[in-house]
Amino acid sequence: MHSANLWSKFSQLLPFQMRIGSNLLILILMGIVSHQTASEKSNLEHQAAQFRAYRIALKKDANRQQTELRHWNGPVHKLMSELGDRLELEHLPEKQVIKLLGKPDEIIKGGKYHNGMLVPKHEKHLIYWWRGGHDYLYLIIRQGKIAEAKWWYAGE
C-alpha cells in the first residue's frame, strides 16, 4: 500500500487531537529539514567563495611568499579536501560545480591521458590546482555529475 494511503487510513483511526498534533509534528520536521538544506547550501556557497579567493591568492603568490597557502593540512588544503568530499557526496551537476568553484585549471576528457592513466570515454576530469600542476584536486564527472573527488600528489 502506498505510504500516503496508509497514513490516510491510519489517521482516520486517531482521535482528532492526535491527528492535529501528528500533522503539526510532520510540518515542524519538514521545516527543520528544509532549514538545514538551505543552511547547508549557504555553507557550500561560502566554502566555494573562500576557495575562489584562495585561488586568486595562489595565482598572485607566484614567488611563494605566503607559505601557509601551500602547507599540508593548511587552510587551502583542508578547504579543498572538504569541498571535494562534499561535492562527491552530493553528486552535483558539472555546470553547478563550475559555477561554484570557477573554471577548472584543466579539463581532461574521456579517451585522453591523465598522469599516465587513460580516462574512460564516459568520464571527464575537472582539475583544480593546489600547489601548481603537481598537487591538485580532480573531480571525476560521470553522466554530467560529480561521481568522485580525488587528489593527485606528486611527492608526498
Distance CA 148, CA 138 (A): 8
Q: Of 131, 114, 55, 154, nearest to 139 (Cα)?
A: 114
Stated pTM of the model: 0.72
Distance CA 135, CA 80 (A): 11
Q: Of 53, 149, 38, nearest to 100 (Cα)?
A: 53
Distance CA 26, CA 10 (A): 15
Q: What is the per-residue pLDDT across 21-67, written as a single tens digit (0 to 9) for each?
A: 555 545 444 454 434 466 667 899 999 999 999 999 999 988 888 88
